[in-house]
Amino acid sequence: MRKPKVDMGVFKERRDRLKELAPGCAFLLSSAEELHWMPYRQDSNFYYLTGFDEPGSIALIRPGMDPEYVLFVQPKDPAMEIWDGYRYGQQGVVSEFGADKGILYSEFDKEAVEMLIDVDKLYFSLGNNAEMDRKVYALLDKTMRARGRTGKTRLPIHDPNDILGEMRVIKSLYEQDCMRESCRLSAQAHIEAMKFTKPGVTERQVLGVLMHRFFQENALREGYHSIVASGANACTLHYRFNDDTCKDGDVLLIDAGAEKNYYTADITRTFPINGKFSGPQKEIYDAVLKAQKEVISALKVGMAYFDMQKVAVKSLTESLVSLGLLRGDVNELIETHKYRKYYPHNIGHFLGMDVHDVGLYAKANEGRPLEAGMAFTVEPGLYVPVDDTEAPEEFRGIGVRIEDDILLTASGPEIMTKDVPKERDEVEAICNS
Ligand code: GLY
Ligand code: MN
Ligand code: MN
């Protein structure tokens, strides 16, 4: 028999919080769809509240009601389990996952109606799965009829992220430890990739070094499709081919992070393939590192989220002018967004169960203030297109991004990915070791 690998108290605590955050409401969460031959990953909100990672399941959670936590699951079926592996079944989800009731998935349409009659609001994520959407529309019709002429009409549907997104944006102590672990092991993988890389190896082989370390450390999977981009490939922000040869004199940009315990890291480092940055590479690298350090040193509880980008844009635009990549007045270049030619993305994003994690960046059109317990990336970059005839020739084809994962605490930022060096001389020393 399989056993859950995480203490179920973690998930119960989260469900218990819903009693205060969403009384009278029900959460209906559908498991992620299964794509055969691909590794299965549970839907993040589903996992966040249940810890249950089987496909073909539905969770119905009614905070404070009885039964409060129901899992609709696939039946125990020895014939099917020979093909697809162990299933917990109706009894298993009660004994191992703390569900109040386990019901067969095939009974959902019939059994769920009664459980929604006294609910005021339904949290359900429309648009992820057409079959599930149809089930829910039919369920709402049946529930409305079952309610009779009580003045209660159709149940309104709300986005679960209104509640769960805001819960997930502040990481608990358990989550902070999970994230530190993903960051630690991903940092090791980056260091090994730096040591391995030399002229003539392929991006694919470097990817293999990263994956080897990820899985040696019992990661569940890559947190996202890794980017191993040599030379001008680094100027493609979501470069995904990873099949070129690393050339002497170029830099290699690696953006990769492992997911462990359902939490992912997201690290980028850029380093010289032959172990020594060229003059122009140094200048671009230093500009990006300076911007990144300026953002990180400005971080504190209460800072507006969007101010991180403002700090980065100011620093990078000043550097672009002093490098001769842009000409003109810095403030005007910022106002007219001219910097976007070389810095086309944002400073970062929330990080957690998903690499671009849930949570609002703005409330009422104001950048939200940063809070203790938030985890996010700080990832400025500069990318000079190889065919940019306006750029000084020596910079063309250079792409640099430096990305760290931050946990904001009451006393300031904790850089969870600090184990991978980013000072130029330290990076070169590792590349040459
Ligand atoms: N690796 C995706 C990102 O940095 O946003
Ligand atoms: Mn990122
Ligand atoms: Mn990244």
CATH code, 332: 3.90.230.10
**What is the Rg, in whole angstroms, of the alpha carbon atoms belonging to the chain?**
25
DSSP assigned state of 29: E
Residues 179, 163: one domain?
no
Can you tell me the distance from the alpha carbon of 61 to that of 374, in angstroms, rounded to the nearest whole number? 26
Of ligand 1's listed atoms, the one at least distance from the Cα of 403 is: 4
Q: Is the CB of 405 under 6 A from ligand 1?
A: no
Ligand 1 atom having least distance to the Cα of 349: 5
Task: Output phi, psi for 63, to 5 deg.
Answer: -55, 125
Q: Which of 152, 167, 182 is the last residue of a domain?
A: 167
Single pTM value for the model:
0.96
Q: Say how far apart CA 374 and CA 364 lie, in whole Å.
A: 19
Q: CA–CA separation, 281 vs 284, rounded Å? A: 5
Of 207, 211, 227, nearest in space to 219 by CA:
211
Same domain, 343 and 296: yes
Please count the structural domains in the chain. 2
Which residue is associated with the tokens 């104001």? 366
Name the burial class of residue 408, with classes exposed (0-12), middle (13-18) and buried (19+) by CB atoms within 10 angstroms of its CB.
buried
Residue 203 domain-assigned (yes or no): yes
Half-sphere exposure of 399 (CA within 13 A, CB side): 28
Phi and psi at residue 60, to the nearest 5°: -120, 115
How far is Cα 406 from Cα 229, in angstroms, rounded to an integer?
24
What are the φ and ψ backbone dihedral angles of 51, each rounded to 5 degrees? Answer: 70, 10
* Token pair belonging to 88: 């917990």
**Residue nearest atom 4 in ligand 1 by C-alpha distance:** 266
Distant-in-sequence, close-in-space partners of 354: CB < 8 Å, separation ≥ 6: 44, 264
pLDDT of the residue at 68: 98
Domain that holds residue 176: 170-431
Structure tokens at 48: 């966040």
Q: Which of 144, 167, 190 is the last residue of a domain?
A: 167
Q: Are residues 302 and 378 in the same domain?
A: yes
Q: Of 167, 200, 227, which residue is a domain's last?
A: 167
Q: Is the peptide bond before 63 cis (omega within 30 degrees of 0)?
A: no
CA quadruple 48, 54, 58, 59: dihedral positive or negative? negative
- Give the atom of ligand 1 at the shortest distance from the alpha carbon of 377: 4
Please report, in tens digits, the pLDDT of each residue of the chain (433 residues total).
889 999 999 999 999 999 999 999 999 999 999 888 888 999 999 999 999 999 999 999 999 999 999 999 999 999 999 998 999 999 999 999 999 999 999 999 999 999 999 999 999 999 999 999 999 999 999 999 998 888 888 899 999 999 999 999 999 999 999 999 999 999 999 999 999 999 999 999 999 999 999 999 999 999 999 999 999 999 999 999 999 999 999 999 999 999 999 999 999 999 999 999 999 999 999 999 999 999 999 999 999 999 999 999 999 999 999 999 999 999 999 999 999 999 999 999 999 999 999 999 998 878 899 999 999 999 999 999 999 999 999 999 999 999 999 999 999 999 999 999 999 999 999 999 9
2 in any annotated domain: no
Give the pLDDT confidence score for residue 37 in this predicted structure: 81
Q: 285 C-alpha vs ligand 2 centroid, how far in Å?
A: 18
What is the best residue among 210, 224, 357, 376 to mutate for testing ligand 1's pocket, by most ligand atoms within 8 Å of CB?
224
Within a domain: residue 139?
yes
Ligand 2 centre distance from Cα of residue 348 (Å): 6
